[in-house]
Structure 1
Amino acid sequence: MNEFLNTIGPGGIVLLFLALLISLVQLFRRIVKKKSSSSTSNQHHLVKKYDDVNLNRYTGFFRLLGLSIAMLTVLAAFEYPVINKALITPENIDRVIGNEHYDSVLTIEIIKPKPQPRPRVIPDKIEVTDDPTIEDIIFDNNEFDPDAEIPDEPIVDDLSPDEEVSDEPLIIVEQTAEFKGGLGKFYKFLGKKLKYPRMAKQMHIEGKVFVEFIVERDGTLTDIRVSRGIGGGCDEEAIRVLKESPAWQPARQRGRVVRQKMVIPIYFKLN
């Protein structure tokens, strides 16, 4: 039975079920028709039943039909084959299979990569001579003056006197530019000069305004602009205060005074 069901497949089972169902319906219709005709002939001439108003006409037919459908459904459910499959590798073959029975087993072979040969290091050939010739090193001390004065500071020789200094502002330098007196005095200067804008107070705006500027070679601040602001008049106030800033100590790169681009935050906070 299992081999037959495996051969016809699910589609064949459905078609077979429909054919049996149609055959049973036709058979039951004939039986009911035959019964109704025989019972009508045996009835008294005064007792006559009409098929159109007979409620029990198809009771037996539908009862047998439901029983047949239930039996065929149970039979198909029990007889339909279930195929067990497992993915087995050489590492888990003993754990997965055990005493279980599988209709089909797919074995995957793991191919290990071939070990690559290590590169051989060939040393350089060194020629060894039996009698190496060593030349004498002669020191000329005619120009050496033992009574010469030694300066306290080292003499720095400019190796590239004709080197052109770029006019582009630098961001990273050896000695960065700073406010004269340090960062603490710079923020004290901001605290004295900075005025909180009226619009920012009314709208309760506070935060950091990032200002970008260039420290020139003479220490003045130029090209002052806001890179990220908060609005409410705070951006304009930060630019105004920086324009009133005194000269800074300029930046230095390789001992030369250079221009430097800087970005600093100015914090606006309501008390």
Structure 2
Amino acid sequence: MEIKKSPKADLEGGKTLSVLMGLVVALACMFVGFEWGTRDIQVVTASEGVADIIAEEEIEITRPEELPPPPPPPPVQAAPELLNVVEDDVELEQQEILSTEDDQSAAQVETYVAPTVVEEEEESDNQIFTVVEKMPSFPGGDAALLKFIGNAIKYPVIAQENGIQGRVVVSFVVNRDGSVVDAEVVRGQDPSLDKEALRVIGTMPKWSPGEQRGKPVRVKYTMPIQFRLQ
């Protein structure tokens, strides 16, 4: 059996109308609300806000007060000089003023004294020089000296048998008259060779003496003598 509804009892037809009415009412309420809540809004630019913030944060710079310079010290007043006023009728004692230029005794001429000449002491006759202005020399020169030594040497037999040879250094003094004295061995080689060297020196003729300041003096002379086997 089919159930039939009455059109008056059908509620679905009024549902759509109710929804539309509700939307209209809601939109009207919202419009009224927006219009009622409108107010003036002040727009502040960024530059103005930053300027206010900077102005609030600026710190006042304090500067020291400039003090006036101290007043200069008062000038020192010199004490007034006391002048002793002398009357014209008072006689003053005349005083003589003497100077060194008026002293005739100081104008004496000093006597010139020549400097004393100290004479150099003459060299002692026994003084021996090692280096002089003119050294002593053998008659005929060095070549003649070597020839004389070569002819005067007699090679010791004991030295020849033992094959001894070498150089003997001797020294001697040439007197002011050229004679040769005080011969001695400075560096020897062998007793036999040393003795022969001293013998040869003792047989030398007179030398030309050495001179110092134009005067003959005693000079010590050193000379080597070579011994060599043939």
Structure with higher Rg: it is: 2
Which structure is higher in helix share? 1
